[in-house]
Amino acid sequence: MRRKVTEEIIEIPRHVALIMDGNGRWAQQRGLPRLAGHRAGAESAHRLLGAGLGFGLKIATLYGFSIENWQRPWEEVTGLFRIFEEFIDKYTQELHQNGAQLRHLGRLEGLPESLVEKIKWVMELTRDNDRLIVNFAFNYGGRAEIVDAAKRVIEAYRRGELALDALDEGLFERYLYTAALPEVDLIIRTGGEKRLSNFLLWQSAHAYFYSTPVYWPDFDEEELRKALVAYSQRRTGVRTIKNGIKTSL
Q: Three-state SS for 57?
A: coil
Q: Three-state SS for 245?
A: strand
Backbone angles phi, psi at 66, to 5 degrees: -95, 160
Question: How many helices (H) does the chain have, and how many strands (E)?
Answer: 7, 10
Q: Give the closest residue to 217 by CA, choosing from 4, 32, 81, 68.
A: 32
Distance CA 49, CA 31 (A): 28
Active-site entry in 23, 69, 165, 168: 69
Does the annotation count 21 as an active-site position? yes
DSSP 8-state secondary structure symbol assigned to residue 238: E
For 197-207, letters b (16+ CB in 10 Å) and e give ebbbebbbeeb
Among all residues, which ones are annotated catalytic? 21, 69
